[in-house]
Amino acid sequence: MKNLLSVKELKLVYDSPAGKAHALRGVSFNVEEGEIFGIAGESGAGKTTICRLLMGFMGKNAGISGQVYFNGDDILKLNHKDLYRLYSRKIGFLPQSIASLNPLLTIGTHITETLKKNLKVKTKKILKQKAIYILDALEFSDSGQVYNSFPYQLSGGMNQRALLAIAFCCFPNLVIADEPFTGLDPDLRDHLLETVRILKYKKNISMVIVTHDLKVIEKICDKTAIIYNGSFVETGETKDVIKTPLHPYTRSLIKAMPENGMIPTWGFAPGALYNDAGCSFQPRCPMGSKEKKKHIVSFPVSAGNNHYVWCLNAKN
Amino acid sequence: MNKIIVFKSLIYKPYFYFLLFLVLAGINPFLISGNNPYTTNLSGRLEPPSAEYLFGTDNLGRCVFSRVMHGARISIGAGLSILLLSLLFGGTLGILSGYFGGWVDEFVMRITDIFMTVPTIVIALVLAGSLGPGTKNVIIILSITMWTGYARMIRGLVLDIKNRHYVETAKTIGLKNSYIMLRHILPAILPPILVMATLGMGRNIIMISSLSFLGLGIIEPAPDWGAMLNQGTAYMRTAPHMALFPGLFISLTVLSFNMVGDELGSPGNGSQFFMGAGNPGSQKGIR
């Protein structure tokens, strides 16, 4: 399969009063056509930063380096106009919360304004037909009524589905989801994930899902990357990463899942200001390095089947 | 549905009816007063209020009541024109500078600062002195001087709204900036603008009357409240009604506009005019 999105050595460094802050420390991954790529990690690890960079939202700040190739174009080098042309037609964005719906506009307006941007035929009737079609596809029982409702008239789950409709209505090649379905109950979340999966298969849409919910990763993602303190610690097929985790951080994340006993890992991530050459998980690492030796892990260790881990102590 | 709520609370307010009356007088003053405001009658000058001349007559024997009624057209009409022009100009600049920020913001706000350092009335007087009196000139002059406050205020409102999640999402959809400003930002800031506009209306009427009082605004024989007040001051001892009634109408009109603005601005009213959607708990209104 063809590579749709390929990210190479993406870095973001910015100046803070306390010194240089490394929000991202060189992240590389590929997303193939029709593939769902999940990125999981704790708060402050740089998940949303990746999203914003992939959308080209950070502008052309001095601190950004690396390349984000989408269909052969480097998104970080595109100008404003070309970038806006890509949005919602080629790259869709699925935001986190229902605060992303304008309370003064109906769901229908939200969808039609997205369609209007990308369709050649812009008569009201056709726009409405298309909007109703996509709402039907998302299993709304009464699409006509939802079309005319304001966000406050719908429940949280319905609003989430409306957000899905907005992100998917033009059937983009790639959808970037920034912590989707956070704060929903598990049943509804699973239902929405199923909807996403069906949409994805029907239209061969690739996705990048950024989340801190390993359940989402487990249920829907083909490939997974675990991010810690601005750098990937483990990447690979989801089943490999979740079933046979190699990095101690991934293991601690899996141990912290509800069905595995919710065992926490002590300590906090060192933060963006951490600037040692070694592994940034070393201070919290349960696997020893009692000699306080700094491991230099600038390259991953392969564990076969595209499974990579950035740890020298990883047991095979 | 939300629009009705606003007027529902206004229905019980006497000042609202006073303004309606003035608007009616502005549309067709002959409905209310039978006398011609321009007809002079030198044998009946400075007469006190009577059944025929409700507010008495002035120094040329003209009916003060019909002049006050005809003055409503000038005061409200000119006030509204100034309001719309200054709101359009100041609002556009405010939205642009708030939305784009950076050097656009700096540039617009420094110009606003320059205008704001000089008191409004001083700029108005200088411009009126150079342009000369007349209704059209008054509208131009006051529009030029009154936009700064709106630009400032609207910029501040936009700064708040543009950081909302839904504006950012609109950008990720790839909508044009002009569309986002008109469709996503403007409706959200309309209620405070509405309140600002009603309060500004009172200020405009005072400014028109002040200029007319000083002889730089609307000139004779056009019946303007400020100009009538100016004439009346000379006859304060012999015929106080000449100054009293125009003065009363200026005060009452300004007061009414301010009260309407206040009412619209109070919680559960103006905020619901367009914003009801954002506030699920208060769909039926607080009162």
Across the interface, of B172, B184, B280, the residue whose CB is closest to A55 is: B172
Determine the 3-state secondary structure of B271 from DSSP. helix
Answer whether B163 touches A (CB < 8 Å).
no
Q: Quote the minimal CA–CA distance from B88 to chain A in Å.
A: 22
Answer whether B182 touches A (CB < 8 Å).
no
- CB pair distance less than 8 Å for A100 and B168: yes
Q: What is the mean pLDDT of residues B69-88?
A: 92
Cβ A265 vs Cβ A286: under 8 Å: yes
Taking CA atoms, what residue in A is nearest to B280?
Answer: A152
- CB pair distance less than 8 Å for A113 and B165: no
Render pLDDT for B128-142 as a digit per residue (tens, 0 to 9).
Answer: 889 988 889 999 999
| Domain spanning A3-90+174-191+202-309: CATH 3.40.50.300 | yes
Mutate to test the interface with B, among A78, A85, A104 (most CBs of B within 10 A): A104
Render pLDDT for A22-48 as a digit per residue (tens, 0 to 9).
Answer: 888 888 999 999 899 999 988 888 888
Answer whether B113 touches A (CB < 8 Å).
no
Q: What's the number of CA atoms in the CB half-sphere (13 Å) around residue A226?
A: 28
H helices of A119-264, where?
124-137, 143-147, 156-168, 186-203, 214-220, 238-243, 248-255
Q: What is the mean pLDDT of chain B?
A: 85
Angstrom distances, CA of residue A312 to CA of A231, A255, B92, B239: 15, 21, 60, 102
Q: Where does the pLDDT of residue A110 fall: very low under 50, low under 70, confident under 90, or very high at 90 and above?
A: very high
- Residue A151, pLDDT above cutoff 70: yes
- CB pair distance less than 8 Å for A104 and B169: no
Answer whether A159 touches B (CB < 8 Å).
no
> Which chain B residues are Cβ-neighbours of A102 within 8 angstroms?
166, 170, 184, 188
Cα–Cα–Cα angle for B229, B232, B237, nearest 5°? 135
Residues paired with residue A140 on neighbouring β-strands, in sequence order: none
Mutate to test the interface with B, among A102, A148, A155, A169 (most CBs of B within 10 A): A102
- Residue A234, pLDDT above cutoff 60: yes
Written as six digits, the tokens of A142 are: 């009464």
Answer whether B221 touches A (CB < 8 Å).
no
Across the interface, of B165, B179, B277, the residue whose CB is closest to A99 is: B165
Q: What is the mean pLDDT of residues A233-256?
A: 89
Residue range(s) occupied by CATH 3.40.50.300 in chain A: 3-90+174-191+202-309
Mutate to test the interface with A, among B1, B169, B184 (most CBs of A within 10 A): B169
Written as six digits, the tokens of B254 are: 């300004």
Answer whether A156 touches B (CB < 8 Å).
no
- Residue B264, pLDDT above cutoff 80: no
Render pLDDT for B86-116 as a digit per residue (tens, 0 to 9).
Answer: 999 999 999 999 999 999 999 999 999 999 9
H helices of A107-147, where?
107-118, 124-137, 143-147
Across the interface, of A87, A95, A152, the residue whose CB is closest to B280 is: A152
pLDDT in the model for residue B276: 41
Taking CA atoms, what residue in A is nearest to B179?
Answer: A113
Which amino acid, A180?
P
Render pLDDT for B213-259 as a digit per residue (tens, 0 to 9).
Answer: 888 888 878 888 988 988 898 999 999 999 999 999 999 999 999 88
pLDDT in the model for residue A289: 58
